[in-house]
Each structure stands twice: as C-alpha cells, then as structure tokens.
Structure 1
Amino acid sequence: MYKALLVQPDHYSAAETRLMFHWEQHGFMLQADADSLVDAQANIRTQPVDLILIDLKHSQASGMLLCERIREHSRVPIILLGGRHDFQLLREAMAFQVSDYIADPVQPEDLASSLRKVKKELDVQSVHSHRLILNHENKKSQKPSNIDLVKQYVQEQLNQNITLKKISSLLHFNCAYLGQKFKDQENMSFNEYLLQQRMEKAKILLERTDMRIYEIANEVGYTEIDWFYKKFKEYTGASANEYRKQSSVNAQYEMSFWKALAVAKK
C-alpha cells in the first residue's frame, strides 16, 4: 500500500476528496492532510510519502511553489487537483514533471484513473529499488546509503545504457540533487565514476580474456566501437590493441621471472 499526502487548505474540500472512493482499492492510503505550504513541507520531512496531491483551487501560486520546493530534493509523484484550464499553469506543471493535472471539476473517475497510472509506475520502480536494496543487504548488514545504491546499480548494469536520470527516478530523487550528493561523497562526478568503472573493467577483460575488442566494448556499455576506442585511449593513453599487447608482454615477463626464480632456488 502506497502512502499519499493530500495538501488541501479547505478542510471541507479535503473531506470530500477523502470520500470520493475507497483509496485502498487503488493502492493508496491517505496518510495525512496538510492545509498550508509550511505544514506540507513539515509533513514531507517527517513522514516520507509515495505520492503528493496538491489542491490548486485556493492558491495556484502556493501550489506551484510547493511543487518547486519538492523538486529541489525529490522525484516523488505529484498530482495537481483543481484550478483553471490554464495553458501557462500546464506549462509550469510539465516543467516540474508532475504525474497529472486534473482541472476543475475534479471527477472521481479521472482521479481514480490517475492513481492507477501512478501506482503502475511506482510498482515498477519499487521492484528495481527493492532488488537493489536486497542485493546490497546480502553483502552488508547495515542499511545502504543512496550513493551505495547508485554504485551498486552501476556495477550490476554496466553493460546497459546507464544514466543518472534513470537511477534518480528509481530512487525518487531529483537528478541534480543526487548528482551533487554523489560528487560530494565520491569526489568525482557520476559521469566520471561511470567512465572509470567501464574503463577499469575493460582493462581487466583485455588483460585476462581473449574476448574481441568489440565484445569487450559491448560488455562495458558501448554500442559504438569507435566511441569505445576514443574513450579508452583518452583514459589509458594507449589504444585497446596496444594495451592488450603490452599486458601480454608484461605477463610473459612476469612468468619468466618467476620460473627463473624457482630454478634458482633448486
């Protein structure tokens, strides 16, 4: 059951919204009400929710300001209720990537349809997030941090198209906020970290396997071989072919050294 917060200044209207239908049948529980911008922000800080419904009938400006504040740190789904059929308002709502905007009059069937859509998206995200947490907790007993989950996702999906935007969506975070958090903790940007992980794995595959270079490129997330060649040379200072040859020479030299040492000890 997902938790929802209803932000509606008018207590009578809030009661009407609550009684529109059985929310639990649509997968949501109205955890709390908020009757002001300050109250809503306090609720969000103290009681994490999966969906926020904001009534715009009394103040569209306050409602959009709350959207802006939420998007500074979270990707939680937002449904806007009421308000006018206003093109400018719709543009603002799209900019804040709200899940839906239902203008007056708000009909139960419209809201129910919107809830089903959000629930479907949350279900998909929940599966991915839950899998990340379970995999991490199999290795460590303590609860993983969000940055740990980001790094785990990179390791598990290294051969896929990885973007911080996609990870942010899975973890319900604003992309810019998560990117800054990552840089603060790791002392490098997310893209720098992703490149590092791909190149280091490519080096290992070049050293220890006889995989073809295009196969290695695919294995570390590059579908265009020329782009892989370019990034690898920028990262190591040598082409992939040169790196493999040098690694082979070094390996043979090391083997000869240890054989000679073994003979000398006899």
Structure 2
Amino acid sequence: MDYLAQLIHEKSTISAFPNHFKHTDRLIDLEIARVRAQLFQCNFDDDLPKLPELESHEDIVTLQEKVYVPTKEHPEFNFVGRILGPRGMTAKQLEHETGCKIMVRGRGSLRDTKKEEANRGKPNWEHLEDNLHILIQCEDTEKRARSKLEKAVGRVKKLLVPTNNGIDELKRKQLMELSIINGTYRSAIGPKNPPSIPRLTPLSMLSHMHLPISPPPFVSSATTHSHSNNHPFFGSPLPSP
C-alpha cells in the first residue's frame, strides 16, 4: 500500500510539469496499473481466449457499443462513480485490461446541469439526447476489436449490477484506494506484514510497454463528459474523445 501511495504521489508531482517527463510518466502509469491489478483486482470471470494474431494485411477498424445505465430501475445508485472509481482509476484499469476506451455519455453525463442544457442539440453533443450510457470503443483489426469489445462490454455490465446483500467489495476497494490517494490510509495489517508486491526495475518494466495504461489522449476529440465529481469519493473525470 505504501508503495502505491508513493507512486501516486510521484505521478501527481510529475503532472505539475506537463510535456517534460513523458517517458517517466508512462512508466509510472504502467507500474501503478500493475500494482493496482494485484491490490484491487475485481476477480471477473469473463476473460476471453487469446486474441487472434495480428495480420499485416488486415485493415484497422473502429468498433463501438453502448451499455445503458439502469438509472430508472436504481435511481439512487451511483453507477458512474462505480465505473470511474477514484480519480477515474477503475475505468483506466478497465481500459488497460481490455484495450478499449471507456466513456460516460448521455443525459446526466455532465456534472454541470446548466452546461449540459446549454450544449444540448449542438454539434458533437448529440449524445446528450440519449439516455445515460457507457460508450465502449476499440480500434484494431476487426476480429481483434470484436474480441476486445466483447470482453469490455462484459466487464462493464457486471459493474452495472447493484449489490443486493449490502456487501460491495468493489466499493470497499475503491474507498481504500481513495484513502491511499488522499494519504489517509492506515494499514490494518501493520508495517511488519505488508502485502508482498515485487517492484519492477526500469529494465523489467520495458517488457510491459506493449500494454497501454490507457488509450491515446482523448483531447483531440470531444470534451470529457462525466459527472464523477458529483460523488465525494471521485475526483477528476476520465478523459474521453
């Protein structure tokens, strides 16, 4: 836990100097994703077989699918916060594991309701006419994109099922992660028995470079649309195209 807290602190420090430490920033992102996967693994059972081999002659396509949020059935449940997680890190982990972009779209996707009403009907804001949904996109060869998309859709759908027994393991992990981000986490195990997570050296981290922590920056497309800040647990929204 202390190691993850140190990584997040270093990430925050580097973020104060944009465009100066691109490679360092990416390596820290990779290490954060690796540590998070061990500490906060959601234990999904929907993993698909190995992706088809990449053929050089195949065209690259962009596939997408919408997963609608069941707000009518569960109006009080914070689905968006559950998908995004603290500082958008749950969604980033989903992106990292599935190779897809995860975006919040539709009515209620903006935390500023006045801004949402002002932009409704404008170009590039057409999604505001639709019900609240999670838009999942994947860019790859067709077979690989379909496989990735199926995996991502399955995981998102599982996150959109409210817990019935009052025990929400994902929320517990997200709250723990939030306390790490805020520097308020106190380990129940004690300093003598911390979880054993091997640290990667700079050379060993290079073997993970083919696994992107997140898709390319989305600022080139539409502005981020997320109301994650509605919830006191969740800070900055997830970037989106």
Q: TM-score, structure 1 length as denominator?
A: 0.19
Compare CA radii of gyration and give the structure with the larger one.
Answer: 1
Higher RCO (C-alpha 8 Å, min separation 6): 2
Looking at secondary structure, tell me which structure has more helix per residue: 1
Q: TM-score, structure 2 length as denominator?
A: 0.21
